[in-house]
Amino acid sequence: MDDLLFEKDGAVATLTLNRPERLNAITGAMLDRFSEAIGEADRDPEVRVVVITGAGRGFCSGLDLQDAAAGQGIGGAQGAAVMVQRFDLRNAPPVVLHELDKPTICALNGAAAGYGMDLALGCDIRIAADTAKLAPVFGKRGVVPESGGTWLLPRLLGWAKAAEIAFTGRILDAAACLELGLVNRVVPAELLAKEARALADEIAANAPLAVQATKRMMRLGLQEDFETNVHHVFLQLLPLFRTQDFQEGVRSFVEKRPGKFEGR
């Protein structure tokens, strides 16, 4: 569908929210397509990194409040009834994104408000344009950070800072996001796509099975004690020793050259 673009270029898949005239406000159809696209990237062995961005001057303004005000869409009366009937969060974008083992980079090209902020925070790495903003406006709209924000913010910032941001709903510009550690770096807007792609290519050049296993172990570590996680990491290490990528990693080290990994 045109509202969400899915493109592959080498080892990098790019998902672009594509309603620039509405600052990429989210619709139900976009949510469904987003989950499908993430699943497609997950199943494709050629894809090693996923970049998520928005078209135009905004990343994502959140759920489409104009539709909600008209009684339609996700927040409208009719939309609420549909959501109750389809209440199955296993395939919801925040869950699908969180469970994806392949690295994700958010190329934060503009304002990310509400749902858009949660979506950005759900990515592993965030590179922000100097024009980007995060807007935790949930309390100003009478809702909660329903798409991962209540789980992500305290883990990213600690309780006190997360509470201040979530409770006040203050808009954070790119500089404030960088100072807080909510984004990895801030770059000029015209260089954002280039910087995101360069980082994606750097990650994709590594052994994909090892990178994906590392992400999986990090995710498990958020809910395990140290001893349990070390045990799981060791069990993950054993099959990696038997991969062709491990052998290539050893050869490339000995031969002092970059590795050429095939994900096998």
Domain that holds residue 231: 208-254
Q: Is residue 68 located within the same domain as residue 83?
A: yes
Residue 58 belongs to a domain: yes
Total of domains in the chain: 2
Report the pLDDT value the prediction gives residue 147, as an integer from 0 to 100: 83
Residue 260: inside a domain: no
CA-to-CA separations, 121 to 17, 59, 143, in angstroms, rounded = 16, 12, 18
Query: Is the domain of 227 the same as that of 132?
Result: no
Map residue 205 onto helix, strand or coil: coil
Question: Residue 68: its pLDDT value, please?
Answer: 54
Check whether residue 18 and residue 143 sit in a common domain. Answer: yes
Residue 78, in any domain of the structure: yes
Residues 162 and 237 in one domain: no
What value does the mean pLDDT of the chain take?
91
Indicate whether 215 and 110 sit together in one domain: no
Q: How many residues does the structure list for the chain? A: 264
Q: Is residue 27 part of a domain?
A: yes
- pLDDT tens digit sequence for 116-146: 999 999 999 999 999 999 999 887 888 877 7
HSE-up of residue 10 (Cα within 13 Å, Cβ side): 11
The pLDDT confidence band at residue 247, using thresholds 50, 70 and 90, is very high
What is 160-175 written as a DSSP string? HHHHHHHHH---EEHH
- The reported pLDDT for the residue numbered 84 is 47
Kindly state whether residues 74 and 196 are assigned to the same domain.
Answer: yes
Amino acid 63: pLDDT: 83
At 131, which CATH number?
A: 3.90.226.10
My answer on whether 126 and 249 are in the same domain is no
Q: What CATH number does residue 245 fall under? A: 1.10.12
* Claim to verify: residue 120 and residue 149 sit in the same structural domain: yes
Q: Is 259 within the bounds of a domain?
A: no
Q: Say yes or no to pLDDT of 189 above 80.
A: yes
Tell me, yes or no, whether 263 lies in a domain: no
pLDDT 10s digits, 69-119: 555 555 555 555 555 455 567 788 899 999 999 999 999 999 999 999 999
29 with 113, same domain: the answer is: yes
Domain assignment of residue 261, yes or no: no
Between 7-16, 46-55, 140-149, 229-238, the lowest mean confidence (pLDDT) is in 140-149
CA distance 130 to 109: 8
Residue 56, Cβ neighbours under 10 Å: how many? Answer: 16
One domain for residues 102 and 26: yes
Confidence of residue 149 (pLDDT cuts 50, 70, 90): confident
